[in-house]
Amino acid sequence: MKYLLLKHYRGGPTPAVGYAPMDQWTPDEVDAHMQFMHDFAARLEERGEFVDGQALAPEGAFVRYDGEGRPPVTDGPFAETKDLIAGWYVIDVESWDRAVQLAGELSAAPGPGGKPIYEWLEVRPFLTSSPTVTE
Amino acid sequence: VNGSLLRDLVPAVIGVLVRRGAHFASAEDAVQDALVEAVRVWPDDPPRDPKGWLVTVAWRKFLDAARADASRRKRELAVEIEPPAAPAPSVDDTLRIYFLCAHPTLPPGSAVALTLRAVGGLTTRQIARAYLVPEATMAQRISRAKRTVSGVRFNQPGDLATVLRVLYLVFNEGYGGDVDLAAEAIRLTRQLVALTDEPEVSGLLALMLLHHARRASRTGPGGRLVPLGEQDRSLWDTDLITEGVAILQAALARDRLGEYQAQAAIAALHVDARTVEETDWVQIVEWYDELLLLTGSPVVRLNRAVAVGEADGPQAGLAALADVNADLPRYAAVTAYLHERAGNLKLAAELYAEASRAATSVPERDHLTREAARARQLLRP
């Protein structure tokens, strides 16, 4: 079963632990965090659970159709209050429980002082494209 | 079977088939089929004349496909069954395949894909993996590209500048999937040097070799980006440097300067320094001036400001930024660096953080975040 682990720049439940933005950490703390992320992705691949991982720039806009012969309307840059996606992993695992376990692992990425950042991650099951046979 | 030797023959063989009257698109398919057969047959039964073998097999594949097509459409074959006897001048035909694949009517992404297939002899699956798109998507992109160039007359002179641009795009993509795109770009540019008599082609080859020579030193643990000034110079490939410099010197001696030669000259000055402190920044600025005259490119103007900062001090560098467009992706990063050199750490840290938000790749973003953290740490008592 495939699941999306969604990382957010902002939005979601109230952070469990408050911490400064990464550019205000020490270089060693930054390195440790990046190494953790790198190792996490490598472990997913080793265990045959990795499907895709991508990061998104914070910039962008909402876009919609605005009628025949008119250019699309854009709404952006994003307001500070909006929920903002930072990136994702797509994993292919045996169960919801396993997806939750992995999200919990990822959420323990180290931050200032080497302590876990307790980041909220959104976990979403993919709808499969073939119907479940139940007869 | 040596894959890259086999693939070296691809554009020439397509050229022969087209010269014999095949359409480029069907010729290209036939040569791909022949490559598959070569990989299967050659290990047990290596041909004495690999190119002749490929031409014969590809021509047979082409005729099979044309016959199947003809019977499907219930019409006569459009081509002669027997190939014309006179062999065509193959250098020109090979070159024309390069021109066709990088035709100015193609969007760059399509020109890249078509070049990798019809000049590079890579399979659609390899190209798709290298560019992280589904194979069906890449197949569609390639067949649309073939259709776009199907109306181009084969004998028409081509545009070398677009070919060079396409090869440089491939080079800059680096690694992708199981294909080393940088090495592939170098191989195709080497072939092109042999087919043409243009110092700019040599300039591009020299530029690629001089960049490639530093590859091992450009990334650290966990894929982190290592900037030029911090690279371990003992990891640089001295054979590639020697070759790149020799090719560049021979090109420059012909006194027909172009943007790739100028860029290669800058790369050569960098690799010529045993330590970063020994870098001849004054000469590098002079080459940036030449490059600016040749291209007028805003990105060149931005990079020139960095070089000016090193040659004449950070204030001069900041002054050189005055006429640079601040919307450029790396503008904040360059400004941050120059302010740090000028001793304004607080502003530098803020600008590094801003630059990390504007970064266009993950390694670049992570690097700039680290730079922001480093500048901030220096600020702490």
C-alpha to C-alpha distance for B116 and B111, rounded to whole angstroms: 9
- Which 3 state secondary structure label does DSSP give A14? coil
pLDDT recorded at residue B82: 52
> How many A×B Cβ pairs under 8 Å?
45
Spell out which chain B residues touch chain A, with contact meaning CB-CB distance below 8 angstroms.
Answer: 221-224, 349, 352-353, 356-360, 362, 365-366, 369-370, 372-374, 376-377
Task: List CB contacts (< 8 A) between A27 and chain B.
Answer: 370, 373-374, 377
pLDDT at A17 over 90: no
Whole-angstrom Cα distance, residue A102 to residue A88?
13
Q: Which residue type occupies B187?
A: R
Which chain B residues are within 8 Å of A25, Cβ to Cβ? 373
CA-CA distance, B317 to B281, in Å (whole number)?
A: 12
The region that residue A116 occupies, defined by phi over 0 for left and psi between -120 and 50 for alpha, beta otherwise, is beta
Other CB atoms within 10 A of residue B352 CB = 27
- State the pLDDT at residue B173: 87
**Residues on chain A bordering chain B, Cβ-to-Cβ distance under 8 angstroms:** 21-27, 29-31, 34-35, 38, 55, 57-59
Q: Who among B353, B362, B377 is closest to A27 (CB)?
A: B377
**Nearest Cβ partner for B373 among A27, A38, A58:** A27
Question: How many angstroms away from the CA of A84 is the closest CA of chain B?
Answer: 13
The fraction of chain A above a pLDDT of 90, given in percent, is 78
Option in B357, B359, B370 nearest A30 (CB): B370
Decide the pairing of beta strands A50-55 and A122-125. unpaired
Q: Is the dihedral of CA A40, A44, A45, A50 positive or negative?
A: negative
- pLDDT of amino acid A135: 63
pLDDT tens digit sequence for A71-112: 999 998 888 877 899 999 999 999 999 999 999 999 999 999
pLDDT reported for residue B250:
98
Q: Is the pTM of this model over 0.95?
A: no
A29/B373 CB distance under 8 A: yes
- CB-nearest to B370 from A24, A27, A57 is A27
> Among B221, B223, B373, whose Cβ lies nearest the Cβ of A30?
B373
d(CA B75, CA B359): 57
Instruction: Answer whether A29 sits within 8 Å of B352, measured CB to CB.
Output: no
Nearest to A34 among B222, B353, B357 (CB): B222
CB distance B223–A25 less than 8 Å?
no
* Coil, helix or strand at residue A121: coil
The distance of A30 to chain B (nearest Cα, Å) reads 6
- Say how many residues make up chain A: 135
Inter-chain touch A23–B352, beta carbons under 8 Å: yes
Task: Give the mean pLDDT per block of 10 residues along chain B (381 residues).
Answer: 83 92 93 94 92 95 89 57 54 88 94 96 93 94 94 81 95 78 95 94 98 94 88 97 98 97 98 95 98 95 97 97 91 97 96 94 93 93 74
Most A CBs within 10 A among B132, B225, B362, hence the mutation to make, goes to B362
pLDDT of residue B177: 63
